[in-house]
């Protein structure tokens, strides 16, 4: 996770041998999704409300010197809908770097197109079967009931476990670009992170991960003094 690397200076000439060893840290980058603070099952360990969870995270993150935290602006905007921003100290918020992915420079493996399209094809067919069932059930139940049921089932079938928004793509591409660890509670994103070779973390391990990073930060900072 953290690499101690002798700096170039130190190895290239006699002049530097008497100098204190310089160390460069290769900071692990971490890309965060809104779901960590919004999904009640996942945020539990951090706080009762999204605002509390974000604040708790920022408080922990401020003590970590071996990680860098990132969020695409589109995801941050999503987060704003759930957070009472006036309750979050502004200087803490600086810990969370906002960065969009370089979407016009990045490339993705072409075989993923096959998987994405097969995935969509299956779902589209499933959506049609759900719609047909709804039409056939009209005689038995009220139209409003059926429509409500149709909407839920259709959305479940077509959206769950799939990357279905530009925000999802932002998260994946940013993690790819930064060679970062992706932390999300979205199963569709985790599935795709796996396909793309992006590191990911079980979201329920997020707090533990932060606590370990705080501990390590102390050890490393102590050593480098």
The site for its own copies (CB under 8 A) is made up of 101, 103-111, 113-114, 116-118, 120-121, 124, 127-128, 130-132, 134-136, 138-139, 143, 146-147, 150-151, 154-155, 158-159, 163-166, 168-169, 173, 176
Residue of 3, 5, 37 whose CA lies nearest to 183 = 37
Would you state the structure tokens that stand for residue 218, as one six-digit string? 């102390």
CB of 126 to its own copies, least distance (A): 11
Write the burial class of residue 183 (CB in 10 Å: 0-12 exposed, 13-18 middle, 19+ buried).
Answer: buried
Q: State the nearest-atom distance from the C-beta of 178 to its own copies, in Å.
A: 14
Q: Is the CB of 62 or the CB of 108 nearer to its own copies?
A: 108
Q: Show the tokens assigned to 133.
A: 């069932």
Instruction: Please tell me the distance from the alpha carbon of residue 98 to that of residue 117, in angstroms, as a whole number.
Output: 31
Residue 71 or 169 with smaller CB distance to its own copies: 169
In the complex, minimum distance from the CB of residue 104 to its own copies, in angstroms, rounded to a whole number: 5
The CB-of-158 to its own copies minimum distance in angstroms stands at 5
φ/ψ of residue 136, rounded to 5: -70, -20
* Strand, coil or helix: 4: strand
| H-helix or E-strand spanning residue 80 | helix 73-80
Nearer to its own copies, 83 or 171 (CB): 171
In the complex, what is the shortest distance from the CB of residue 145 to its own copies, in angstroms, rounded to a whole number? 10
192 or 209: whose CB is closer to its own copies?
192
């Amino acid at each position: 996770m953290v690499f101690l690397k002798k700096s170039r200076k130190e190895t290239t000439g006699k002049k530097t041998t008497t100098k204190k060893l310089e160390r460069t840290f290769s900071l692990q980058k971490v890309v965060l999704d809104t779901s960590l603070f919004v999904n009640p099952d996942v945020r539990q360990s951090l706080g009762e409300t999204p605002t509390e969870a974000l604040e708790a995270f920022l408080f922990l993150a401020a003590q970590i010197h071996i990680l860098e935290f990132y969020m695409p602006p589109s995801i941050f905007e999503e987060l704003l809908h759930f957070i009472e921003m006036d309750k979050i100290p502004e200087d803490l918020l600086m810990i969370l770097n906002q960065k969009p992915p370089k979407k016009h420079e990045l490339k993705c493996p072409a075989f993923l197109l096959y998987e994405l399209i097969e995935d969509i094809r299956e779902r589209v067919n499933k959506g049609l079967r759900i719609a047909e069932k709804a039409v056939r059930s009209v005689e038995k139940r009220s139209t409003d009931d059926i429509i409500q049921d149709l909407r839920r089932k259709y959305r479940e079938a077509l959206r769950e476990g799939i990357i279905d928004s530009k925000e999802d793509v932002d998260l994946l591409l940013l993690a790819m670009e930064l060679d970062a660890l992706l932390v999300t509670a979205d199963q569709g994103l985790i599935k795709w992170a796996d396909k793309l070779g992006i590191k990911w973390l079980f979201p329920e391990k997020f707090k533990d991960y932060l606590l370990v990073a705080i501990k390590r930060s102390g050890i490393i900072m102590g050593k480098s003094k």
